[in-house]
Amino acid sequence: MIVGIDLGTTNSLIAYYSEHGPEIIPNRLGKRLTPSVVSIDENDEICVGETAKERRLLYPDTVAEVFKRSMGTGKKYTLGSRTFTPEELSSFVLRALKEDAEAYLGMPVEEAVISVPAYFDDKRRKATKRAGELAGFRVERIISEPTAAAIAYGLYERNRDTRFLVFDLGGGTFDVSILELYDNILEVRAVAGDNYLGGEDFTAVLEKDFLEEMKLDINHLDRKTLAHIRSRAEQCKLELSEKRESVLSCMIDGEKREMTVSYSKYEKECEPLLDRIRKPVQRSLSDAHIRLSDIDVIVLVGGGTKFRMVRDFIVRLFKKFPNTSINPDEAVALGAAIQAAMKERREEVKEVILTDVCSFTLGTEVSIERGRGILERGHFCPIIERNTVIPASRTERFYTVHDDQTKIVVSVLQGESRFAENNLLLGEVSVAVPKNKAGEEAVDVTYTYDINSILEVEVKVISTGEKKKAIIRGKDNGMTDEEVAKRLETLSYLKIPPREKEENKLLLLRSERFYEESIGEDRAVLEYLIRRFEDALNSRDGGRISQAREELQDKLRELEEL
């Protein structure tokens, strides 16, 4: 069984292809979305999803979130006394999804197709693959989120040539992709985006406003208070999608602080974020060499597209209504599941040829003449431009720059800056050249980039015919089987709690949070009900546990409505 996974910044989902088509697999709490939040408790147990999200409000120093934004970087997250990489944190989310899928399907799940933002570079894509391997998956296919979404919407089954734009605004990343369908080929024409723009940033606007309105210095607030403010800001943002006005209410040092927020004021303050959305749209259209009027269908993906403000902006920008026939939270996971079924060669899935593009320009470092024979090093020469359809192969000729030069070093770079030092160094290939006058010796440098994001570099010395080839996988492009096994062993002491305990653990955490936020009689009643529930759990009496749980849940619902 191969499953499809949308490993999101804010939420993650897992899906499979059933006899009825692609279906989302519910998690251990019966929900379709699993928050991409990880926490470690006092027993060295890993909490993932809703439980970790609840712990964020009580024990923020033990919680990590939005770590997808740091995939492929050297950033470390400290949870209590433990330190983890973004890949390891992502692997805990994937491991929880894997356990949920195996429990739901009643069989082992060993392989996954995992989606990534179209704008993820090679380093981030390989980090995602590593996370899957650490979770116990075999990951042979990484699929871009816009392509997965297009498959889910069934656009590849249209009977006529179609150009469509996938607008993907998630919790932490933004992608815009232009795809074209002809015959049975689904071709990505252009991608653009912002790895640091998402729904979380719209929440941060309200959080900043509240701190300023209440004259609170963020440097003088503990992480627990900040987590509380962020949670209430998120709730206020969701309410503003339905109402013209909302109240952001927080308990600060035992005092209730409130700020009334109007939708119009909030929209105005979010204008810089909306402007950041506009730029990748314009860039993708320019790279694809098409006009906005040439787009036939606009597809919305990601939870951020459900916000009224974003929807209104999309209609104004594109001057047409988008396709919203599928829940934008689920489109990518469903598409990944269909891709998994294609990989399994399922007869009921129509085979479609998927083409992708190189998201970033690939090139090398060169020296340029600045007049009077003065050479300036450190310039970037593109070889395969961004948004080139892959697989692709391109050749450029380069010459020696010094008399009696004995070797040429080809630095393999990825990025868009005209200066080499600002781009990502993927590797180097060095070849020997005969001594000669500057400019008399030359090499042909050929870059070949395939659909699995593997770059082959060939350097051929023109005068001697000598060739040297190298597979450039990037400095952090993968782990050997031995390295994966070793890291799995290192992390094995960390256990995800048994599935049957999750609901009770989450309820106790929610109760503890409400206890801290309550005063007077409500607090006293909560303490009584929490103790009653804990006693019932210790008794292991099913009927007693069920009754105590229901009484506690009723009280929490009552407090939520206040």
**Tokens matching residue 277:** 């959305």
Task: State how far the Cα of 263 lies from the Cα of 241, in Å rounded to an integer.
Answer: 8
Which parts of the chain have pLDDT scores under 70? 155-160, 351-353, 355, 371, 452-453, 473-485, 487-500, 562
Q: For residues 94 and 116, is the Cβ–Cβ distance under 8 A?
A: no
State pLDDT tens for residues 478-489: 556 666 667 666
Task: State how far the Cα of 191 lies from the Cα of 390, in Å rounded to an integer.
Answer: 13
Per-residue model confidence (pLDDT) at position 193: 85
Per-residue model confidence (pLDDT) at position 132: 94
Q: Which of 186, 194, 199, 219 is nearest to 280 (CA)?
A: 194
Work out whether the CA dihedral 136, 139, 142, 148 comes out positive or negative.
negative
**Tokens matching residue 219:** 């440097």
Q: Which of 87, 142, 132, 143 is nearest to 110 (CA)?
A: 132
Per-residue model confidence (pLDDT) at position 40: 92
Q: For residues 167 and 146, is the Cβ–Cβ distance under 8 A?
A: no
Mutual angle of helices 86-105 and 122-134, in 10-degree steps: 50
Phi and psi torsions of 356, nearest 5°:
-125, 180
20-56 burial, b if ≥16 CB within 10 A, otherwise e?
A: eebbbbbbbeeebbbbbbbbbbeeebbbbbbbbbbbb
Per-residue model confidence (pLDDT) at position 411: 94
CA distances from 406 to 315, 434, 473 (A): 60, 6, 27
Say how far residue 174 (Cα) sits from the centre of its chain.
9
